[in-house]
Structure 1
């Protein structure tokens, strides 16, 4: 018997959702507002929320001091490249684990996920030395490679979960019709798992875009993405909160826009297979 939902419950649930959403979004809102303040107003106590002298001086200063387009292009190439390579590797890997499992499949998946449990700083020194000897320091190729390896376990786990929801009978029917493994992947499996593939791609893109540890330690200037661009506004002289907020706003703007327009696809993919 279905549980009856009263108007009071709807109002309370809606109010709670709005409050939780506002609490989560408030730091981003505060950062955007601080980017339009002067440095004195950004440090003012008590802080002003809306009633202050609005200025775009911080954005002008950021553009004059740093090459935003160069860093944004690096972020786009590094995040996009690592995501595409991870997807190309993860799709056949997840397919083999989902439809041709062995006794060790679960152990392999657990081992892959366990690599995300180790703090990245634990392998910083060997990775840095390897990159130095191979000439990969401060290169886009090096960042693409390390971010791809870092996010690959999550990508394979997500795709494995989505592929498990697809009936095996459909793939067996394709094989009986003479479909090769390549055609099965491209023409049968991929179209059926588009929601899951899209959500995995978007999540991986966001993770790669926001990655700070490896980008800060393995890049300096030529391949520096937007995370390094933000960190450049932290100096020994102190933090310039207004300029730092302006730089942070510019850094999150592209991925925020992408996430806003693709939120329906992301939610659809994350709930893929939840309802039978």
Structure 2
């Protein structure tokens, strides 16, 4: 029997949720406002910025003319999609083996994989940089795709393992009795049943790869620079160009925000897959 919730409790929860939502969204809102201001107006006091300054769209045209936004955008798309798809190729068989092949230390292996995300990236920057330099992968899309795949691989495997564990093993046993081999079992039985979970995994890892800044700034120069490097280019020794930096930030986050907005139902469905029996 569901517990009744009073109107007062609902009102308090609504106010709290609304306040938290405003606080979380305010930095993005302020960046949007600054992107339509001149550099002189952007450094004024907040009330002056809102009520005593004009509006302009010159920052966006200046940013595009100076930095070639679409080249950085295409790099971000290729690197984020490529690293995610490459990660799935490795993670789906790995998650299948952990979920359906009995092993004593499966949970220990998963915890060890996840613990690698806790290591500071700067701790392995030098050896990876030297490997990339000697193999010709420095400032290349291929190199960044491989690095971001390896970085996010523990999360991909962990999420897919959770989804696969919710699929009854009897279904796979029935497929084996019908003559399905390992390839057919993974491609035609397991994968279609876990589509919501796989979709949410893809969306989450695209976001993670899109927002990755440390490796993209240290392993690229010009040719493979994604949108994170595009934003960083507006920080210079002469100071920060707040208006242009805000415009560049909006141009960089707008695609991923739009994707997240239109796919939020699928993302929530996938993240809650198997949570309710």
TM-score range normalised by the length of the shorter chain = over 0.9
1:45 equivalent in structure 2: 45
How far apart are residue 46 of structure 1 and its match? 3.9
Q: How far, CA to CA, are the matches of 1:170 and 1:28 in structure 2?
A: 46
Q: Is the Cα contact below 8 Å between 2:91 and 2:160 reproduced in 1?
A: yes
2:215 equivalent in structure 1: 214
How far apart are residue 102 of structure 1 and its match? 0.7
1:34 equivalent in structure 2: 34
RMSD, aligned α-carbons: 1.1
2:6 equivalent in structure 1: 6
Matches within 5 A, 1:197-212: 197-212=198-213
Q: Is the Cα contact below 8 Å between 1:41 and 1:47 reproduced in 2?
A: no
2:271 equivalent in structure 1: 270
Q: How far, CA to CA, are the matches of 2:175 and 2:49 in structure 1?
A: 61
Q: Which moved more, 1:16-25 or 1:54-63?
A: 16-25
Q: How far, CA to CA, are the matches of 1:170 and 1:238 in structure 2?
A: 61
Deviations 1:22-48 (A, max 9, x none): 111111111111100111111102444
Q: Is the Cα contact below 8 Å between 2:234 and 2:245 reproduced in 1?
A: yes
Q: Which moved more, 1:97-106 or 1:124-133?
A: 97-106
Q: How many residues align?
A: 276
SS in 2 for 1:55: coil
SS in 2 for 1:116: helix
Q: How far, CA to CA, are the matches of 1:57 and 1:213 in structure 2?
A: 30
1:232 equivalent in structure 2: 233
Q: How far, CA to CA, are the matches of 2:47 and 2:187 in structure 1?
A: 55
Q: Is the Cα contact below 8 Å between 2:132 and 2:143 reproduced in 1?
A: yes
SS in 2 for 1:255: helix
Q: How far, CA to CA, are the matches of 2:9 and 2:84 in structure 1?
A: 42
SS in 1 for 2:223: coil
Deviations 1:36-75 (A, max 9, x none): 0111111102444643311001111101111100000000
Deviations 1:127-183 (A, max 9, x none): 000100001100000000100000000100011011111111111111111111111
Q: Is the Cα contact below 8 Å between 2:41 and 2:49 reproduced in 1?
A: no
Q: How far, CA to CA, are the matches of 1:59 and 1:264 in structure 2?
A: 31
Q: Structure 2 unaligned runs (5+)? A: none
1:23 lines up with 2:23 in the alignment = yes
Q: How far, CA to CA, are the matches of 1:81 and 1:142 in structure 2?
A: 11
Q: Is the Cα contact below 8 Å between 2:42 and 2:49 reproduced in 1?
A: no
1:81 equivalent in structure 2: 82
Q: How far, CA to CA, are the matches of 1:181 and 1:28 in structure 2?
A: 47
Q: How far, CA to CA, are the matches of 1:182 and 1:46 in structure 2?
A: 60
Matches within 5 A, 1:32-111: 32-48=32-48, 50-51=50-51, 52-111=53-112
TM-score, reference length from structure 2: 0.97
SS in 1 for 2:104: coil
Q: How far, CA to CA, are the matches of 2:23 and 2:49 in structure 1?
A: 15
TM-score, reference length from structure 1: 0.97
Q: Is the Cα contact below 8 Å between 2:31 and 2:246 reproduced in 1?
A: yes
SS in 1 for 2:117: coil
Q: How far, CA to CA, are the matches of 1:46 and 1:67 in structure 2?
A: 31
Following TM superposition, the consecutive aligned residue runs of length 4 or more in structure 1 with deviations greater than 2 angstroms are 46-52
How far apart are residue 2 of structure 1 and its match? 2.6
Q: How far, CA to CA, are the matches of 1:111 and 1:160 in structure 2?
A: 14
